[in-house]
Amino acid sequence: MATVTLRDENRVLEDPAEISAFLAPFGIWYRRFEGSDQLPENATDPEILDAYREPIELLKAEGGYVTADVINVKPETPGLDAMLNKFNKEHWHDEDEVRFIVHGRGVFHIHPPEGPVFGIEMVKGDMIRVPRGTHHWFDLCSDKTIRAVRLFQDTSGWTPHYTETKAEAGFEPLCFGPSYMPAPGI
Ligand SMILES: [Fe+2]
């Protein structure tokens, strides 16, 4: 299950219905796709897309997405840090960012035009749609592992536009999953 952290309000949301209701005013969809635990960790990309064909087709129809693929990131992925550095600075896209986590985890931070930044830790079974134009950034957790289905309206629209606000500088990617390692002494 996802975890929403409102650092400035010292508030954490963990209930999926509460999270969906909190995110809805920002145009963010949050849903649970159960069943990824039935897929072997070494499932191929086509097997993953096939296992989730039904919800993927529903999302495509709902959001006008035309293609879906699977991204697979591991600590040994070549050029991992360069890849992560593209997305861990505040940016926005010309099209929606839609992700469904099949394995691993990661954290989206959302920076609404009015109101404080909040973090969304996404784990296996979580689906999110961040609407085009939303200021956000993304970090992996310490295990640097994520496998996710991505949906696109037009892959050319998914280039990051950087806001250069450096809002991300004040936020650590807090991950509450099994890989979360508290700082020594805390
Ligand atoms: Fe992004």
CA–chain centroid gap for 11, Å, is 20
Tens digits of per-residue pLDDT, 39-98?
887 899 999 999 999 999 999 999 999 999 999 999 999 999 999 999 999 999 999 999
**CA 114–ligand 1 middle distance (angstroms):** 19
Q: How many angstroms does the Cα of residue 137 sit away from the middle of ligand 1?
A: 6
93 alpha carbon to ligand 1 midpoint, in Å? 6
Cα 16 to middle of ligand 1, angstroms: 22
Check if the beta carbon of residue 12 is closer than 8 Å to that of residue 5. yes
pTM of the model: 0.89
pLDDT at 178 over 80: no
Does residue 179 carry a pLDDT above 60? no
Query: Among candidates 17, 53, 19, which has minimal Cα distance to 35?
Result: 53
CB atoms within 10 A of CB 123: 20
Using 50, 70 and 90 to split pLDDT, how confident is the model at 156? confident
- Residue whose C-alpha is closest to residue 106's, from 96, 97, 115: 97
> H helices then E strands: how many in the chain?
4, 11
Specify whether the CB–CB gap between 91 and 168 falls below 8 A: no
Mean pLDDT of 101-113: 94
Residue 182 pLDDT level (bands cut at 50, 70, 90):
very low
Q: 186 CA distance to ligand 1 centroid (A)?
A: 32
